Structures are given as structure tokens and as C-alpha cells.
Structure 1
Amino acid sequence: MAKTFEKERKRIAKKKGGKIEALHANSRNAKRLHTAVIRDDRLKALAAARKKQDKPLIRRTRFFLEAARENELKPLDEAAVQAKILEFVGQHNEEYEEIKKTRRAGRPPSTREDLLKMAIEALETEHKNGFCKPNLITMTA
């Protein structure tokens, strides 16, 4: 169970003097429990969204960490770093070309093909424009 719900359940049980057998549907305690459940669900949804948003950053970090481990944690020279960046940017190209070749003529692209194309375009624009988004406040000041 989630934290808020458990805390509210314990508070109500302590106030009632033991187990909560039954609560009236419209009682204050039932409303408190209901509010706690809603809050826990909302927090779970926010955590899942945050985790989903962080996945590309984690994937990128893992890729370059593996590259550093392959080099025995020694600093990479500039050419090696550029090669690894280009490898990361082009990581979906092979699969995209394979899916594109297997598609019959005249058929629309599959969902997977569309997703790969969007991922490739996003990585290429990020490589062209840079990873960090410029802060507009500091640029105008």
C-alpha cells in the first residue's frame, strides 16, 4: 500500500480504538481515506512520468559510461569522443533501414518504423543544435 493511505488508516484506527471494521460511506474518515488514495495514485503517476522523461538521459549516460569502461576509464581523445557521439546518433539507423527494406512496396510505414524515424531525427537535430537548451533569460540580459 502507499504511504499516505497507510498513515491515514493508522490514524483512524488509533482514534477508533482498534481495527477499522466498517466506515459509513460519507463519513469524514471515509473521505480522508479516499483523499489519501487519490493522492497516492497522483504521486505514482507523477513518478512514472518523471521516470519516463529521464529514460533518454539515462540511456545516453549508460552508453557513454560503457564507452569509458571499454577504454579502461582513461580519457578519450577528441577523435574517439566524436566517433562515439556519431555512433550514438546513428544507433537506430541499421534497424530503420532493415525495417524499411522488409516493407512491401506501396504499404504505409509501420508504427515501429515511424518511431525509429522520429528518434533518428531527434538525435540528429540534437547533435546539430547541441544538447543543452539555451537559457533565454541569460541571453537577453
Structure 2
Amino acid sequence: MPIMAAYDENDARGPARVLANTVRRCMEEGKEPPKYVSAFDNFYSMIEDYKSHGFEGFDYVASGARGPEALNLLPSPERHVDDLRVAFDRALQAVYSDVERDVALGRVENVLRAVAYPKTASASGDERLAVRNFLAVFINNLYSTP
């Protein structure tokens, strides 16, 4: 268990920001994709989570200081998971407001796949630019939610 979890301070925004920044920088700077494939795969998984359940049910609930709930073996929920949902919503609205949510997320996933695995997929320059904009808006909204 990370030390942050021991103090009940997990924050889902940090890892999401690191993944999104890594993917965005790789796309912008033309870095070697195979070196960063795990970041692409993990961000792709986060998109799949957003598509399937929108992070519902992962809301943070503070644990009690002492008592039977302290013995719970389930992992503690991350803080600010709802901020991920809001950041995804805002990024989709800003970049893909003209298409349905699942179609837009499919486009993002296709570009991520094309960048991470260039031998098996491809994406146009416009599609890549849209995803870079999507990532920038996503990152900017992670910590700016009310």
C-alpha cells in the first residue's frame, strides 16, 4: 500500500495527468512510441473505464479512525475520481461537440492506437491534432473542477 493510502490521501488526478501529459508529449515531440506504449495503453484503459461506467461508484468516502471499517480488505477508493469524469466531459465538449460521446472516444482511441502501434494503424494529421487538443483540455480541467 502506498504511503498516501495509509494517510487516506490517494488522488486519482495525479496519475491521470502524468499519463495524459506523457501521451501528449509523445505525440507532439514525435518521441519513440514503443518506449511509451505503457502510457498509451493505460490512458486507453482509462478511456475504456470512462466509456463503460463513467467512474460511477468510485466516489471517495473518508474512512473512520477506528472501528470495524478500518479492517476492510478492499482497496480504498481514490480521491477526486469524479474530477476525471468532469475533465473527460469537458474535453469531449470542447473538441468533439459535433459528434456523439462514443464516436468521439472511438476516434481518440484510434489515434492512440495509431501512434502507439504505427505498423498496425494510422491516423491523419487532423485526427492527431484533435486528440492533442483533447488531451490539453483534459489536463487543464483535471485540477480546475469546482
Q: Which bin holds the TM-score, normalised by the shorter protein?
A: under 0.3
| Larger RCO (CA within 8 A; separation ≥ 6) | 2
Q: TM-score of the superposition, structure 2-length normalised?
A: 0.27
